[in-house]
């Protein structure tokens, strides 16, 4: 796992230097200046360490200085204190497969891809506790600019990483040229789709994706693959794909694919809510009356989705019914793979029309629990494991030197994953995210 990892080392070193100087600092009031101390919560580090009760997290310049039991961490007099007694803290959630900026409501197209739309969606993800998103395709220069602005203490929206334009060339030459264009951007991942959309379209040929993977690696980039079929998963793994961006949805995952995933150290992103979005609007979905959804939903979009003609089309759609079955297969495979020790990265494929950013991430966690994963497995897939799999080494865990991106809950999500809905505050780079859109 290289590429993105390399680029992030410098800020981590700088943070280390800051820590060093803070440690050697002179007068006490000087070390208190700009220091925030979050006290009293039960803290989960995101990497499977035991929960720290009555913890203190100290933050300076947007980064964590120390995390530990309050008695051990200590804080200079005069530091700004934020009381989190009785609350539960996890690292901010990392979304390993989303899309940012390509749709607005049910509208798509180049006209909606604006800085304003990107910022609106990054603020929306942030309000729901998703503090880092890997946007896997459809990303333009505006997203690359926003990525360049996010190493900042005052950030109050979600961090974005990108895959640029999906590589879909059907010859090796065309595919390599597309990889090169993305590399110029530069992107964090290369994205391909190896799928025939339930037999309705032509699948990317083996020689084209083989060349894409090779060219990506030559440019120091990792490759994320959309897939549907078990046999394609195996072929992609054999060819060197670095990340499986969806579930295997046609058949049960077998020993061969499990062995390949583990041997090649490749992580898989289930995106169960992607399937849900293909059929759930055949009627008025239950979540249309959920306050946790409605607080950020656009009423005009809901009206459009409640249109009886639209519902009828979905009910009669053969694809929708097939994806309903695919969801069952995907859920069973998620449990099989997680039990076998394959690393799971949290993801939803939100962003396209009617895949609601923010809310669907909490729905995905619920579906992962219904598939049989424990709350700890789910939280880790969205924090420490996601960071490790994706090479995001400045986020995803609560440790000195990392960005102070974390979620505060009233109820413990490690007891019951439904408690992510008790989200009481989101902090990015030590700054509180506004609770509602301006
Ligand atoms: Zn996607």
The per-residue pLDDT for range 56-92, each reduced to its tens digit, is 999 999 999 999 999 999 888 899 999 999 999 999 9
Ligand 1 centroid – CA 5 distance (Å): 22
- pLDDT bin (cut points 50, 70, 90) of residue 438 is low
- pLDDT (0 to 100) of residue 159: 98
- pLDDT bin (cut points 50, 70, 90) of residue 33 is confident
Structural domains of the chain, with CATH: 4-91+400-432 (2.30.40.10), 93-390 (3.20.20.140)
Is the confidence at residue 9, as pLDDT, over 50?
no
Q: Span 346-375, mean pLDDT?
A: 98
Ligand 1 centroid – CA 363 distance (Å): 17
Ligand 1 centroid – CA 361 distance (Å): 14
Nearest to 133 by CA among 382, 324, 340: 382
Q: Span 353-371, mean pLDDT?
A: 98
Ligand 1 centroid – CA 389 distance (Å): 17
Q: What percent of the chain has pLDDT over 90?
A: 89
- Residues having C-beta closer than 5 Å to ion ligand 1: 136, 349
Ligand 1 centroid – CA 243 distance (Å): 13
């Amino acid at each position: 796992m290289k590429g993105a990892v390399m680029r992030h080392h410098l800020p981590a070193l700088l943070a280390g230097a800051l820590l060093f100087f803070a440690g050697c600092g002179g007068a006490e009031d000087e070390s208190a200046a700009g220091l925030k101390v979050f006290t009293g919560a039960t803290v989960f580090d995101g990497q499977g360490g035991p929960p720290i009760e009555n913890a203190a997290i100290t933050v300076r310049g947007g980064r964590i200085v120390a995390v530990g039991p309050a008695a051990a961490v200590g804080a200079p007099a005069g530091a700004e204190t934020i009381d989190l007694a009785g609350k539960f803290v996890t690292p901010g959630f990392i979304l390993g497969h989303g899309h940012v900026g390509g749709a607005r409501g049910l509208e798509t197209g180049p006209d909606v891809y604006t800085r304003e739309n990107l910022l609106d969606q990054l603020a929306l993800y942030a309000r729901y506790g998703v503090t880092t998103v890997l946007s896997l395709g459809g990303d333009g220069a505006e997203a690359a600019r926003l990525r360049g602005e996010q190493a900042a203490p005052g950030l109050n929206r979600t961090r974005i990483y990108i895959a640029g334009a999906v590589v879909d060339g059907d010859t090796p030459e065309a595919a390599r040229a597309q990889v090169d264009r993305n590399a110029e951007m530069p992107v964090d991942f290369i994205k391909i789709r190896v799928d025939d959309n339930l037999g309705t379209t032509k699948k990317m040929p083996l020689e084209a994706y083989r060349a894409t993977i090779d060219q990506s690696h030559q440019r120091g980039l990792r490759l994320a693959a959309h897939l549907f079929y078990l046999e394609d998963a195996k072929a992609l793994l054999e060819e060197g794909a670095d990340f499986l961006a969806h579930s295997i949805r046609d058949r049960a995952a077998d020993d061969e694919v499990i062995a390949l995933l583990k041997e090649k150290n490749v992580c898989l992103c289930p995106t169960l809510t992607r399937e849900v979005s293909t059929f759930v609007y055949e009627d008025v979905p239950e979540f249309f009356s959920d306050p946790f959804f409605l607080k950020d939903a656009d009423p005009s979009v809901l009206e459009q989705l409640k249109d009886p003609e639209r519902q009828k089309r979905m009910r009669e759609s053969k694809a929708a019914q097939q994806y309903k079955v695919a969801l069952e297969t995907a859920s069973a495979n998620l449990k099989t793979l997680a039990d076998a020790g394959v690393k799971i990265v949290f993801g939803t494929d939100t962003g396209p029309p009617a895949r609601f950013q923010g809310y669907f991430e909490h729905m995905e966690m619920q579906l992962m629990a219904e598939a049989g994963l424990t709350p700890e497995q789910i939280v880790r897939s969205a924090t420490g494991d996601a960071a490790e799999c994706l090479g995001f080494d400045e986020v995803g865990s609560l440790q000195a030197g990392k960005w102070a991106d974390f979620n505060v809950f009233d109820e413990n999500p490690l007891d019951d994953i439904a408690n992510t809905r008790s989200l009481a505050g989101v902090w990015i780079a030590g700054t509180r995210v506004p609770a509602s859109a301006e």
